[in-house]
Structure 1
Amino acid sequence: MTEIQDRLGSAFADAGVSGVLHARTLRPSPGAAGPPDPSGEAPFPEIGYEPDQLVCTASVHKVCVLLTAHRLAAEGRLRLTERIDCRAAGRTVGSTGLSAMLDDVRMSARDLAYLMMAVSDNAAADLLLERVGLDEVNRTTRLLGLERTLAVENFAAAQAGMRDDAGPAGAGALADPAVVSRLRALDPARSNRSTPRELTRLLGALWHDELCSPEHGEAMRRLMSLQVWPHRLASGFPFDDVGLAGKTGTLPTLRAEVGVVEYPDGGRYAVAVFTRAADTAHVLPAADSVIGTAARIAVDALRAPVRATVRRVR
């Protein structure tokens, strides 16, 4: 384990970021025997690098919104096909999906969920969040025993807080480290928050259908597999036969992704990686790709007994 910790620490340092991580083995996919566990140890091993550090979740918290919408649908309190109006005036700003569109739109709750997860659409997320409510999002995480995972505001409020904190210079001020240091959005005591360990627990619940029926679980996993960004977790697993479903999160100097990696033998691994960069530049390829690098180090370590067994059998 010390060697793994050293490798993770070196990877983060080489990329110019500080990082935290948690990875855990999930139950094999249905119908698959799953990788063998020759160790005789706990059936669901895990690896952490500062895994209990409180982090700002940014758009990663959209996974909680998604799970809440499907929980309410399973309870008969929300119809995923119900139509929701998105007026052009006053919608949450952003660079993707409805946030970037110019006209009024009316679409189903489940299609809003798609935009929220696939392209991290803030307007779609806030419409869905308005429908389900912050209290229900927090009830979802409490039902899973996630005591440190909390939603305190919607995405429009988080953006408004950053504008206020940046001052009259606006977004241009976010290149100044002194300005970035005072952003409430980057203070987990004042923003939506969780820990890497709790987020992999959340992913485990979603993949194991703990709060919803398998039908709802499959729908959520499908949406997470449709995320379009390949530059973080996916960069660590560039294989046609390895599946990945995830959700990114981004704020000034903060880059993150949580997701599940699935191998053709049925092995499934939940990973949460959060990084903070000293450099305030918006484009930092090394800070993005180290998320995939760190995830690969962790998953390879979880699968090491599997590889050892294969070698012995051969």
Structure 2
Amino acid sequence: MLSGLALVGAVLAPLAPAHADGLETEFDKTFVARPVQPAAMPGQAPQLQASQLPPPRIQQAAQPTAQTTKRTPPASVRPYISSRSQRSYSGALGVQVGGLAEDSQGRIGVAAIDLTTGQTVSVLGDTPFPLASTSKIAIAATFLDGVDNGRFSLDARYPLMVPVKSQRFSGFAAPVRPGAMMTGRQLIERSLIHSDNQATDALLAVIGGPAAVNRWIRTTGIMGFRLDRDIATLVRDDGEYNPAQMIDERDSSTPMAMAQLLTGIYQGRWLSASSRSFLLGTMERCETGKRRLRGQLPGDARVAHKTGTLNNTASDVGIVRAPDGHVYAVAIYVTGQGGHAGRDAKIALISRAIYDGYIGPSGSYASAQR
């Protein structure tokens, strides 16, 4: 197994500038362009036979055509219409977060659930936002549900799914080929800690694709989550619509749906104790987004989270645990804001406001809600 230090070193080596610690897009580009090849695994882990491997999905790269350069928006895409004058928020924290999440520079969605008091905060909480790599939590959870039910194993080895170059929009699914073999445990760790797209698509291939994730989500009763494409296709076709101005329901989640997913995982509703512990523990080791959800939080706050980054959008979602035991789930999706740094800064600012509102230096808000 690759050590965490070796993997981070392999990922960061070609990056510029050297301080690109929070830039998930750089991690993603590195893995897509130059996948890390793991060392040979010890013989004790079960090895899949060739007949058990997902078939390669390879196609000839299409030449640009009118269909690939001019596309009619699907029914799942619609313009975003601001309704600032109609917004209302409950409580002082809701008003504060609503002010921070105003949409003059791009729409922002926020949902937080205080797991100690039950208090919720929502800004565009029922509006779809691009999942980007925050989908990797649901993908890992679906795999772990299969582990709990004996269909998959954390010790079995599965192939990475390596993208094959193709023209944008040249097919429903981007072509991929099997790559190096890794254990299920390694795939989840690479997917959640380093946002490795090839590892995530390996998990998707094992469980049966996006449809399997949607089926599992339906068993939880959560509404507002939808996965349509694997990561290779999502990255290849990224940038078709501006998420600050358009709502694309494909590969999207409402902030509240994501907060509910995180809440249920933390509370142990759908996974075994061992799978829950492994999933949350892995999310606590997330290396991306150091300037986002964690950016302004106290150093002793424990954050189990996953970031997401695509064209003109950034996100960070997770479980935050304060030193006094106070716990809450939070999902923040940001578009626009003038660039990557602006989106990171906005996430960090909203994250700190929610932390102070729920836990707070004075505890006034949390006390009033108990």
**Structure 1 position 278, deviation (Å):** 5.4
Q: 2:251 aligns with which of 192, 210, 213?
A: 192
CA 81–19 in structure 1, closer or farther in 2 if over 3 Å, else same: same
Q: 2:313 aligns with which of 224, 235, 254?
A: 254
Change (3 A) 1:13 1:201: closer
Partner of 1:301: 357
Report what 1:128 is aligned to.
203
Aligned AA (1:83)? R
The Cα shift of 1:222 comes to: 0.8
Query: How far 1:265 sits from its partner (Å)?
Result: 1.3
Give TM-score, length-normalised by structure 1. 0.76
- The alignment status of 1:238 with 2:312, answered yes or no, reads no
The Cα shift of 1:148 comes to 1.8
3-state secondary structure, aligned to 1:236: coil
Which structure has the highest helix share of the two?
A: 1
**Partner of residue 267, structure 1:** 326
Partner in structure 1 of residue 16 of structure 2: none
**Displacement, 1:244?**
0.5
Q: 2:157: which partner in 1?
A: 83
Going from structure 1 to structure 2, the CA distance change for 1:13 and 1:87 (only over 3 Å counts) comes to closer
SS in structure 1 opposite 2:229?
A: coil
- Provide the secondary structure at the position in 1 that maps to 2:113: strand
AA at the equivalent of 1:295: S
Gaps of 5+ in 1: 28-42, 93-102, 166-179
SS of 2:107's partner is: strand
Is 1:219 matched up with 2:278? yes
Q: Which structure 2 segments of 5+ residues have no match?
A: 1-89, 167-177
* CA shift in 2, pair 1:129/1:145, >3 Å: same
Higher RCO (C-alpha under 8 Å, 6+ residues apart): 1
Distance 1:25 1:305, change over 3 A: farther
Q: Cα–Cα, structure 1 residues 130 and 307, in superposed 2: closer, same or farther, change >3 Å?
A: same
List aligned pairs for 1:275-286, cutoff 5 A.
275-277=334-336, 279=338, 281=339, 284-286=340-342
Query: 2:242 aligned with 1:181, yes or no?
Result: yes
Q: Contact 2:225–2:254 at 8 Å: present in 1 too?
A: yes
Give the count of matched residue pairs. Answer: 266
By how many angstroms is 1:221 displaced? 0.4
In structure 2, the partner of 1:111 is 186
Secondary structure of residue in 2 paired with 1:233: coil
Q: Which of 138, 145, 156 in structure 1 is aligned with 2:221?
A: 145
The CA deviation at 1:161 is 2.2
Coordinate RMSD, CA, aligned: 3.0
Change (3 A) 1:15 1:234: farther
Q: Conserved in 1, the CA contact under 8 Å of 2:128 and 2:247?
A: no
Kept in 1, the 8 Å contact 2:357–2:366? The answer is no
CA distance in 2, matches of 1:68, 1:111: 16
Percent identity over paired residues: 23
Moved more, 209-218 or 297-306: 297-306
